[in-house]
Each structure stands twice: as structure tokens, then as C-alpha cells.
């Protein structure tokens, strides 16, 4: 195993360098650097692929698999050897030219997306997205599939899921959510005018920084920066970056966006030190240095912190005074109760990252519907705005005024992340399952949360999820708490209990 560990550590170093370039491209890089940055990232990813397919890696993994073959299936070294073997089989099917083309395309498409979004003009992004989709379909054909070309793409981000499994999951979830949403929309609306007042960006960032630290972010191993679309990225557990954006006339974006990304960061920071620079902190298929076992599990940690903690009355009982001290003029006429009601209101909107908890998954279902249609060829890229706008009208009763508030709002497609959107809803469901388990087995955690403390929650999540890195799958982690993957019962119970108590008993 020692030879394999050395080779994987070097691979992880290369992928951390890729992450560094990606972080810079989304935060600091001047617009003119997009083309050459694409070449740089493509070169490094090509090197990573070569390292995976090199004879020494093949020889080392063969020896490691033989050495660990008789061990327990959960043995970390056996898992490591199996993961490297699977990565070799995967990359053997992906032509080197295709990998390079995708890496170069993602950086150039990202710059084009930012320009198109600023101009609210999808036509500026369309040719880049057409190329991205063509490359994704080429990748799906190279990997192979039985039923749907979406299957190998979503498996990259959430192993075990397919177009069929997601279709059944979303059907059940939509059926459960819609009556809760209808009941919640029938209630009187809280006042929200104060959310749209003028909030200086520097003060928003200062509050977000302090909040992240209070929630456990280690400032010796992390930092918060500014970007167009918030994200988290790590360069090992010792250097984890989060970003947010500061919408001057809409305060919740920065608060809950930053809490969300803090949840992602805590996952990476909480990986056991022993897995640093190992297979269990390296996505060797997606060519990504990350300790999270899947995008869905990663999203569960961010949504858990954002919604189950960050939107709770208990959290604001401890933190509203601090917020009002930061913005004394803007919040002078606002009570703690006013604020809690406003940030938990049910008011379907156009923007996914600003959506209330009930309509959020409707946004995800739309994106997945479009992705599947793009992959099987039943939808052309040029028709996305029309299809998008019609679906928003159908599902949420809203009219999309421009592409920036419609199909250009997310960065994912420019990054080539076709297949990643289902993981957001998977994350919501998984977060609810974990919290239901903790409420049933660790009542002390809820008691601490009621006093504003998150240490016991972080310790429990660290033991259950974070420390394992990629050595346990989402399904295996859920199995340890007796939960079935994509079972929406706990999630629907949570939503009904919060937004429509009269329906709570029938939500399952």
C-alpha cells in the first residue's frame, strides 16, 4: 500500500493545484485570463489522468488489491485500492482529447456565462453551452449506459443514481411538497420590507465572517472571499475557501449563502487528518481534490447548517442582536420575531439560491428536467429560455423578466457540471434524515442548539460523516442510522411541521 499511497498523494497535490486555479478564476482572475487559464487547468488535469493510467499506478493498485482482498469490505486500505482500480477503468474509457477539451471549455464558458449574466442575454452564452452539452454527450457515450445518457453523468456526482431513480424520487417528493406549499401560501404574509433596505457590502461581509467563525469555521485553515456565485473549495483540510456575494439591497443572500458555504467547509475541515492527500480525500473519477463522499452528502451538510440551524428561532435568539448592532439604522424598527418570520416566509421567487425551503426543490426539478432533455437530445440549447420560463410560470406562477433571473442564474452548466443538480435535493432529504436521527438519539444536541451552541452537533456530524472522507458512501452512512437513500419521509415531516402543522401527520 505504501507505493500506492505515495502515488495518490502526488495526484492529490496536482488536483489541489487545479482547485487553486479554479478558485482564482472565480474570485480574482481578470476576465482576459480565461482562455489561458483554461489551458492551464486542462494541462494539469491531463497530467492527473496520465498519473492515474501510468504503469506504476496500475502495478501498485494490483499489488494493493491482492494485499487487501481478504480484509473486511469496509477496511480503509481495501476501499482505497478499489477506488483507484475503479478510477483506472473509468479513465480508460475517456479519451485524453475529450478531457482536455472539457477542461478548457469550462473556464472559457465560465467567463462567457458571467458576461452573459451581467448583460441578461442568453445568446452570449448559448454557443458555449452548446459545446459543453456536446462534450457531455460525448462523455456519456464513452462511458456507456443502458437506459439514458444522463445516467453516467449523474453517477459522477452521486454514485448509484440514474435518470429512472431520480424520476421516481422527484415524483414522490413533488407529490408530498405541493400540498404543504399550497397550505403555506394560504397563510398571511409577514412583513419583508426591511430585507430590501440598503446594507453596505463591507458590513455584510463582516457579519458573515463573524457568523462563520461562531459556527465553527477555523480561521487558521479557511477564509471567506467574494464571488458572483457562492461556492466552497478546498486544497486539503488545511486550506478550505468559501465565497459569498453581497447583494446590497437584499440582506438574506449574504447571511444564508455564507452559512450554507460554511456547512460545506466544515465537512472538508472535519476530515480525519490521516486521510489528507489520500484516496479518501481525492475524487479520482471527477479529478477533484475533495473529502466529501458525494455531492449529495456534501450538500446535506450545507443545507443542514443553513436551514435546520441558521433559519431556526433558536439561532436568531442568540444572533439577532448582533445583526441589529451591525445594521442599527436598517433594523431599528424590526423585532427578532419580524426577522425570523421574514427569513422563513414561503414566497416562491425566481432565484434558486434565494428560494424558500418549500419551493427550492421545484427549482431543482426544473434544472434536472432540462439536463435530461439536453442529454437525450429532446431539447436544444437554443430553446432553454423558452422552456425555463414556461416551467417557472407553470410551477410557481411567476413571469421571468430576463435571462439573468432565469436560465443564466447558475454557474453549474458553464463549469460542465451536467448531472450535479439532483444532488441539491438529495442533500435536503439527507439533511432531514440525519437531523431526525440526532433528535431521536441525541436530545442534548437540540438542547444545545436552543442555547446557540453547535459544538455537540459538529462533533456528532464529524463522527457520523466528516471524518470518513470518501471511505464511506452516502448510502453506507445512511445505513448506519437506519435510513434509506432518497426516502423523503423525514424531509416531508420536517417541512410539514415547520410550514403546515395540520398536514404533518399525513406528509409521509
Catalytic residue list: 261
For 8, the enclosing helix (H) or strand (E) is helix 2-27
- Let me know: does 73 contact 57? Beta carbons within 8 Å: no
Q: Cα–Cα distance between 208 and 261 in angstroms, integer? A: 11
In 69-95, alpha helices (H): 76-92
Q: Which DSSP string corresponds to 417-448?
A: -TT-THHHHHHHHHHHHHHHHHHHH-HHHHHH
Please choose, from the candidates 270, 379, 358, the residue with its C-alpha nearest in 3D space to the C-alpha of residue 281. Answer: 270
Please choose, from the candidates 339, 333, 331, the residue with its C-alpha nearest in 3D space to the C-alpha of residue 315. Answer: 339
Task: Compute CA 224 distance to the chain's CA centroid, rounded to the nearest angstrom.
Answer: 17
Neighbouring residues of 208: CB distance < 8 A, sequence distance ≥ 6? 224, 244, 254, 255, 258
Radius of gyration of the CA atoms of the chain, in A: 22
Other CB atoms within a 10 A radius of the CB of residue 61 amount to 26
**What are φ and ψ of residue 222, in 5° steps?**
-155, 165
Q: Cα–Cα distance between 136 and 151 in angstroms, integer? A: 12
Copy the grid coordinates of residue 480. Answer: 448506519
β pairing state of 222-226 and 240-244: parallel
Copy the grid coordinates of residue 93. Answer: 474509457
Starting at the edge strand found earlier in the chain, the sheet holding 222-226 runs: 222-226, 240-244, 232-234
Spell out the long-range contacts of 102-105 with Cβ–Cβ below 8 A and sequence spacing 24 or more. Answer: 102/132, 102/135, 102/139, 102/416, 103/38, 103/41, 103/42, 103/45, 103/46, 104/38, 104/39, 104/41, 104/42, 105/38, 105/131, 105/132, 105/135, 105/416
Amino acid at each position: 500500500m505504501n507505493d500506492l499511497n505515495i502515488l495518490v498523494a502526488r495526484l492529490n497535490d496536482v488536483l489541489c493545484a487545479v482547485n487553486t486555479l479554479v478558485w482564482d478564476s472565480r474570485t480574482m482572475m481578470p476576465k482576459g485570463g480565461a482562455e489561458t487559464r483554461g489551458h492551464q487547468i486542462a494541462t494539469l488535469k491531463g497530467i492527473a489522468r496520465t498519473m492515474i493510467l501510468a504503469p506504476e499506478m496500475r502495478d501498485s493498485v494490483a499489488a494493493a488489491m491482492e494485499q487487501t482482498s481478504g480484509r473486511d469490505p469496509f477496511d480503509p486500505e481495501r476501499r482505497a485500492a478499489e477506488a483507484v482500480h475503479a478510477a483506472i477503468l473509468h479513465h480508460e474509457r475517456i479519451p485524453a482529447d475529450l478531457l482536455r477539451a472539457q477542461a478548457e471549455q469550462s473556464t472559457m464558458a465560465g467567463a462567457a456565462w458571467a458576461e452573459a449574466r451581467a448583460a441578461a442575454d442568453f445568446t452570449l452564452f448559448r454557443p458555449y453551452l452548446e459545446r459543453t452539452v456536446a462534450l457531455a454527450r460525448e462523455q456519456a457515450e464513452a462511458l456507456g449506459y443502458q437506459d439514458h445518457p444522463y445516467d453516467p453523468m449523474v453517477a459522477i456526482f452521486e454514485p448509484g443514481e440514474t435518470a429512472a431513480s431520480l424520476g421516481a424520487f422527484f415524483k414522490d417528493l413533488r407529490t408530498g411538497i405541493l400540498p404543504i406549499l399550497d397550505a403555506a401560501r394560504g397563510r398571511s404574509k409577514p412583513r419583508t420590507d426591511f430585507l430590501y433596505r440598503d446594507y453596505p457590502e463591507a458590513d455584510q461581509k463582516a457579519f458573515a465572517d463573524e457568523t462563520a467563525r461562531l459556527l465553527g469555521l477555523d480561521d487558521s485553515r479557511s477564509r471567506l472571499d467574494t464571488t458572483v456565485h457562492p461556492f466552497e473549495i478546498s486544497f486539503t483540510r488545511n486550506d478550505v475557501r468559501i465565497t459569498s456575494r453581497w447583494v446590497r439591497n437584499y440582506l438574506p443572500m449574504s447571511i444564508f449563502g455564507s452559512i450554507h458555504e460554511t456547512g460545506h467547509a466544515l465537512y472538508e475541515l472535519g476530515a480525519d487528518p490521516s486521510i489528507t492527500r489520500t484516496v479518501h480525500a481525492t475524487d479520482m473519477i471527477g479529478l477533484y481534490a475533495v473529502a466529501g463522499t458525494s455531492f449529495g452528502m456534501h450538500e446535506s451538510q450545507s443545507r443542514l447548517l443553513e436551514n435546520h440551524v441558521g433559519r431556526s428561532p433558536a439561532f436568531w435568539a442568540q444572533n439577532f442582536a448582533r445583526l441589529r448592532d451591525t445594521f442599527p439604522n436598517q433594523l431599528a424598527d424590526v423585532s427578532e420575531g419580524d426577522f425570523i418570520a421574514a427569513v422563513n416566509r414561503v414566497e416562491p421567487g425566481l432565484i434558486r439560491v434565494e428560494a424558500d425551503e418549500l419551493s427550492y426543490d421545484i427549482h431543482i426539478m426544473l434544472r434536472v428536467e432540462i439536463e435530461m432533455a439536453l442529454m437525450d437530445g429532446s431539447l436544444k440549447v437554443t430553446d432553454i429560455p423558452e422552456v425555463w420560463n414556461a416551467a417557472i410560470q407553470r410551477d410557481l406562477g411567476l413571469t421571468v423578466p430576463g435571462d439573468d433571473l432565469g436560465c443564466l442564474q447558475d454557474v453549474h452548466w458553464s463549469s460542465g457540471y451536467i448531472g450535479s443538480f439532483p444532488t441539491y435535493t438529495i442533500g435536503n432529504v439527507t439533511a432531514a434524515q440525519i437531523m431526525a436521527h440526532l433528535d431521536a438519539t441525541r436530545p442534548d444536541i437540540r438542547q444545545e442548539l436552543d442555547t446557540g451552541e453547535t459544538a455537540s452537533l459538529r462533533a456528532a456530524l464529524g463522527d457520523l460523516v466528516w471524518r470518513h472522507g470518501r471511505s464511506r458512501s452516502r448510502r453506507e452512512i445512511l445505513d448506519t442510522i437506519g435510513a434509506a437513500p432518497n426516502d423523503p419521509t423525514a424531509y416531508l415531516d420536517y417541512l410539514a411541521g415547520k410550514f403546515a402543522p395540520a398536514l404533518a401527520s399525513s406528509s409521509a
